[in-house]
Amino acid sequence: SQQGEEDPQALSIQEGENATMNCSYKTSINNLQWYRQNSGRGLVHLILIRSNEREKHSGRLRVTLDTSKKSSSLLITASRAADTASYFCATDAGGGSNYKLTFGKGTLLTVNP
Amino acid sequence: EAQVTQNPRYLITVTGKKLTVTCSQNMNHEYMSWYRQDPGLGLRQIYYSMNVEVTDKGDVPEGYKVSRKEKRNFPLILESPSPNQTSLYFCASSLLRGVGGYTFGSGTRLTVV
């Protein structure tokens, strides 16, 4: 079952602009993660934010988490053509020791040179 | 280099012919998982494993088997493949829950005719 839903489904911007992608989920989570996927290739882990954290930074990435609204956002600042990819949020909502991620369907980001 | 290795990268097979997709990680990770990715459906978990000899079903386990006899290996077995198992498959591994994300393999594109 889909836990995370990304919004928008597709986003096209110019190089140098900021890109914001949103993720909504349905149940309580342990943590939320963002991944990037270049066309047809493996996913690359970008950042993990725990349920007791509100904001996290990594280089040009900024992630926020609002557990009261069950939503998260990923901001990529000063985007580059190389940022063109699909971006997925994934939630870890399992109880006990099960480390199971449930992925959304992704946002396709196109950064035009 | 720390990585998850899947083989083969591409596979075309016929209905009913048993096949195995291998997955190996060299990072001493506890957790391993198999996902399939389909257009419009996103990534869905097939099976996962928390440790050697500990496996459990994900969201779409029908038609698949796995084993975890050694920590590094987590093969995916299709006993009798059918056309609806045509998909892009990813193996992933993770060391600790809630600390880092999953490391993904490069994917196996399977076509069943």
Put simply, the answer to whether B104 touches A31 (Cβ < 8 Å) is no
pLDDT for B69 equals 97
* Minimum-distance CB partner of B102 among A40, A45, A98: A45
Please, which pLDDT band fits residue B40 given cuts at 50, 70 and 90?
A: confident
Is A45 at the interface with chain B, CB within 8 A?
yes
**Are β-strands A107-112 and A10-14 bridged in parallel, bridged antiparallel, or unpaired?**
parallel
Is B74 at the interface with chain A, CB within 8 A?
no
Q: CA B73, CA B92: separation in Å to the nearest integer?
A: 11
Report DSSP letters for A2-39, one per residue: ---EEE-SEEEEETTS-EEEEEE-SS--SEEEEEEE-T
Put simply, the answer to whether B42 touches A88 (Cβ < 8 Å) is yes
Instruction: Give the chain A residue whose CA is nearest to the CA of B42.
Output: A105
3-state class percentages of chain A: helix first, strand second, coil last, to nearest 5:
5, 55, 40
* Minimum-distance CB partner of A98 among B44, B56, B94: B56
* Minimum-distance CB partner of A45 among B88, B98, B101: B101
Dump pLDDT digits (tens) for A4-60.
788 899 999 999 999 999 999 998 999 999 999 998 789 999 999 999 999 999 999
Name chain B contacts of A105, Cβ cutoff 8 Å: 40-42
* C-alpha distance from A8 to closest chain B C-alpha (Å): 14
* C-alpha distance from A16 to closest chain B C-alpha (Å): 28
Dump pLDDT digits (tens) for A73-83.
999 999 999 99
Please, which pLDDT band fits residue A1 given cuts at 50, 70 and 90?
A: very low
